[in-house]
Amino acid sequence: MSRQWVDALAAVPLFANVPKRHLRQIARLAEQVTVRAGAPVVYRTHSGREFFVVLEGTAVVRPPSGLGHAIGPGDFFGEMSVIDGKPRSAAVRAETDMVLMMLGRRQFMQVVNEQPTVAIAIMEELAARVRRLEGSA
């Protein structure tokens, strides 16, 4: 765990309102994952139990529409699957060598169960997303 990990988590909208002490706890539970250029990171429709924050490198995210978009340092993916344990909604393939921070569902749920402020911050962000999608934000 490093300050870089805490700062990376603070930049993720799901954790934007989470106190730093809780971000440090989350970062301690996370693991570093490296992925080689060209390798798949996650497959669409496969079971998802991890949340990722990109620390280094770039990837392409491909939703069912096939219209991919690039992600890089500071971006994140897997938040829906880590919350609900359902299959992935998009595939992600590394474009360059990557370093990712990974938080598993068990660790994520541990933090949510132990720290209500984390759960509330996540619910607020998810509610804001729904409002934006509905055009009422």
Domain ranges of the chain: 3-134
User: Pairing relation of β-strands 50-56 and 59-62?
Assistant: unpaired
Q: How far apart are CA 119 and CA 14, in angstroms?
A: 10
Give pLDDT tens digits for 75-124. 888 888 888 888 898 999 999 999 999 999 999 889 888 888 888 888 88
pTM for the model: 0.86
For 42-76, the pLDDT digits (tens) are: 998 888 889 899 999 999 999 888 788 999 998 88
Structural contact between residues 82 and 75, judged by C-beta atoms closer than 8 angstroms: no
Q: Kindly report the CATH number that applies to the domain delimited by 3-134.
A: 2.60.120.10
pLDDT of 1 strictly over 70: no
Structure tokens at 10: 């603070």
* β-strands 76-77, 69-71 pairing: unpaired
pLDDT value at 16 more than 70: yes
